[in-house]
Amino acid sequence: MVLGRVFLIVGLSLIGPLLIIQRATVLAFIARSRPTSTGTNAFHHKVPSSSLFSTTSSSSTETTKTKPPTVTSPAERAARAADTWTTVALQPTQSVRESIDLLKDAKISNEEAFKRFCRVKGTYYINGLASCKIGDRIMHPFEAHGHVKSFAFDGDGRLIYRGRLVETELAKQETSAQKPLARGVMSTVADTTFPSNLLNMVSSSERDTASLISFLWPPPSSLREEEVDDTGDDGDGAQEQFLICLCDNGEPYALDPKTLKTRGKLVDLVPHLEQILGGKKLLAHHRIDDDVLVLCASTLDVPGQDYMGNTTMEFFEFDNKFRLLQTKNYTTRFMVFHDWQMTQDYYVVPLNPAVMQWWPQMAEFLTGTGVGTQIFRMDETCPGAFILIPRDVTDTNVYEVQAKDFFNIFHFGPVNQRDEKLTLYGAAFDSYTFGREMGYEGANKKFDPIDWAESGDAPAPRLDKYVIDLKTMSIDECTRLPVTEEDVPVDMPCFSNEDGGVAYFLGASRPEGWFPFRSVVKMDLATKEAWNWDAGDSSVMSEPMIARDEALDTSFVLSVMHSADTKTCQLVVWEEPSFEAGPIATIPLGQLTPWCVHGVWYPGYNPI
C-alpha cells in the first residue's frame, strides 16, 4: 500500500504540466469545413441563418473573384497541408530588426485607406513559436520555444519590426547544446523503444518555453503621468514596465519592450513577487480589469488537493506595481482549461470534464515509452459547465452552471455581465482526444495535419453563445453560430467590443481537415452575416488583431501571413468597416518565421 501511494503521488506530480496541456493552442486549430474552392485570396459571404446548432446551406455571394483551385484531389490537399505546416513549423528562427517605409514598401490595394493606416500610432506585440526542430529532433509545437515579435507604428508612415527568441533558461541551454534536454509531456528527447526510452525517463517533464502570450505591465496608460522607478521593485515612482511572456504551466519572463531582449524571470526582477509566485506555474492567459487597473493571473494545479485526482485553480490580483491585492482558490473534480474570463464580479472558468487513465498509460509515461497526453482523456459522458467564482473574497459561494452536453472550450471571446445576465462566446469542441495536435507524429518526425483532423479524434470546434441567468444560476440560451455557407469552424477570436458586435477569427475552408489555418473570418454577431478571406493552400494565417488609434475615427485588422511557398511573411491589413472588400495592403516582413499565436495591441504607444 505504501509503494502504491508513492507511485500515485510521484505519477500525479509528474503530470501536473501535462494536464494544463494546452500549450495553448490545442485550440488554435480550428476549421473543419464543407467543400469550397481552394483558390487564394478568395472571399465567401454568408446570408444569415436563424437556426440554432444547425449547419444550414444558404445562398451566398462571392464578393471577390475566386482564383482557380491550386490543388484538386484529397491526396493533393493532404500533401499540401502537410508541406505547408511542416515548412512553417520547422523554419529556423533568427532575430530580426527591420525599418519599413509603409508607403514605399507595402503592396497597396486601397491607397486612400492605407494612407489612413499610415497615420496609426501604436505597437502590436505577438508571441508564438520558434522552430519546432531542435538539433535533429522535432518537438511538439506546444513545446517549442517562444519567438516574440513587435510591430511599432510611429503614426508617420514608418514601421519598426522586431523578432527575437524568448531566452528562458531551457531555451538558452538547448540552443547551446543543439538538442532537446527536457521531454515535456507531448514530446520525447529520444525514441520510445529500449534503451532510448531511458533518456526520456530521466529527462524533465517540464518545458518552460514562454511561447504563447506577451503583454505589457504596467500598461502604457498608467505610466504617462508617473515617473518610472527602474529598480524593478516597489517605490515612490511607477513600477518599471516589462513585456511579459509565458506559456501554460510556466513562469513569466520579463523582456525589454523596445529591444525584446529577455531580462530574466519576473520574480527575479520584481523581488517581492518571489514570496507570492515563487515556484508556481501560471496559465498563459491572464485578464486585466481596465476600470481599476488590475492584472489577474491564474494557476491550475492537477491533481490538486491531497493528490486525489482533482483540480485546484488559484487567482491572483495585482495593481500596477505588482502589489498583491487578493487571492482566491477553488477545487473541483478533475478537469482542464486553458482560457478563462473575468467580469466585475466573477472569474468565469469552463469546466471541461476529464478522467485519468492509469494503466498502462501512466507506466508508459513514467518509463519513457509513451507521452503524457496518454494518461488522461476527456470525459464525454459528462456535461460541461461554467464555474462562476465571486471575486469578492468575503463571498465563499461558487457556482457550477451546468450545460446540457459535453464541451471542451479552449478560447473565450468577451464575457459581458449586465442586468443579472452573463453573456459569453466560446470556441467549443463537441468531443476531443488529445495526442496528435497539429498532425504531430513525433516517432516519425513529421506532421500530417489532415490525417489528424480526419481521424475522428479531433472534430473542429464551433462558435457557441451562452447566456447565464445570474439569479437562477442556469443557462438561459445556448446558440451555435454558423459561419459562411461552408460553416467554417473558427477559433482565436478577436471581438470589436465587450458586447460582441463584430468578431474576427482564424478559420480554414477545405473539403476535409481544418488545420493549418488559412483564412481570416469576420462575423456580425447581430445579423449572423460572415465573410471568409482565404489566403490559399500555401499560407498559414495568425490570430487577427483589431488595431485602433484614438486620434482616428476608423480601425484596422491585422494578421501575419506565413507563406510557405516563398518562405516569407507579410502583415496583411484590412480597414475594419470595409473588411468585405479585401485587404487594403500587405506589408513585407522578410524571411519566414514559425507560426504566431496570441497578440495584443497598444494604441498610441511606441517604445522605439
pLDDT level of residue 555 (50, 70, 90 thresholds): very high
Per-residue confidence (pLDDT) for residue 511, from 0 to 100? 78
Indicate the residue type of 193: T
- Lowest mean per-residue pLDDT among 33-42, 389-398, 512-521, 573-582: 33-42
Per-residue pLDDT tens digits for 76-91: 989 999 999 999 999 9
pLDDT at 65: 33
Q: Identify whether the C-beta of residue 32 lies closer than 8 Å to the C-beta of residue 453.
A: yes
Across 275-319, where does the E strand assignment appear? 287-289, 294-301, 311-318
Q: Sketch the domain layout of the chain as residue ranges.
A: 2-603
- CA–CA gap between residue 154 and residue 258 (Å, rounded): 13
pLDDT band per the 50, 70, 90 thresholds, residue 49: very low
More confident residue, 512 or 343: 343
Quickly state the pLDDT bin for 224 (edges 50, 70, 90): low
Task: Quote the pLDDT of residue 508.
Answer: 82
Q: Is the pLDDT of residue 41 over 70?
A: no
**pLDDT exceeds 60 at position 150:** yes
Among 15-24, 286-295, 416-425, 585-594, the range scoring the smallest mean pLDDT is 15-24
* Residue 68 in this model has a pLDDT that exceeds 80: no
- In tens, the pLDDT along 105-139 reads 999 999 999 999 999 999 999 999 999 999 999 99
Judge whether residue 257 has pLDDT over 60: yes
pLDDT at position 66 over 90: no
pLDDT: is 302 or 290 the higher one? 290
Binding residues for Fe cation, by number, are 285, 338, 411, 598
Counting Cβ atoms within 10 Å, is residue 553 exposed (0-12), middle (13-18) or buried (19+)? exposed
Report pLDDT digits (tens) over 488-505.
667 888 887 766 689 999
pLDDT band at 268 (very low <50, low <70, confident <90, very high): very high
The yes-or-no verdict on residue 345 having pLDDT over 50 is: yes
Bigger pLDDT: 304 or 577? 577
pLDDT at 526: 84
User: Per-residue confidence at 239, pLDDT binned at 50, 70, 90?
Assistant: confident
Mean pLDDT of 395-402: 97
268 phi and psi angles, rounded to 5 deg:
-80, -25
Backbone torsions φ then ψ of 291, nearest 5 degrees: -65, -35
More confident residue, 269 or 496: 269
Q: Comparing 168-182, 386-400, 482-496, 515-529, which segment has the lowest mean pLDDT?
A: 482-496
Q: How far is CA 78 from CA 81, 451, 514, 542, in A?
A: 5, 7, 11, 20
DSSP 498-509: TTEEEEEEEE--
Binding residues: 285, 338, 411, 598
The CA distance from 238 to 596, in Å, is: 31
Percent of the chain having pLDDT more than 90?
Answer: 64
Residue 23's closest CA among 173, 130, 96? 130
Q: Higher-confidence residue: 304 or 310? A: 310
Summarised one tens digit per residue, pLDDT across range 452-478 is 878 777 777 788 999 999 999 999 999
pLDDT for the residue numbered 483: 60
Residues 527-547: what's their mean pLDDT?
A: 93
pLDDT digits (tens, 9 = 90+) for 346-359: 999 999 999 888 88
Residue 47 has pLDDT above 50, yes or no: no
**Residue 41 or residue 74, greater confidence:** 74
Rounded Cα–Cα distance for residues 477 and 97 (Å):
48
Question: What average pLDDT score do residues 542-570 get?
Answer: 95
Question: 468 CB contacts (<8 Å, ≥6 apart)?
Answer: 386, 388, 401, 421, 422, 423, 424, 474, 475, 476
Whether the CB-CB separation of 44 and 486 falls below 8 Å is answered with: yes
Q: For residue range 429-455, list pLDDT tens digits in order.
A: 888 888 788 889 886 778 999 888 787
- Position 248 scores a pLDDT of 93
- Residue with more model confidence, 45 or 521: 521
Q: Is the pLDDT of residue 26 over 90?
A: no
Work out the mean pLDDT of the chain and round it to a whole number. 85
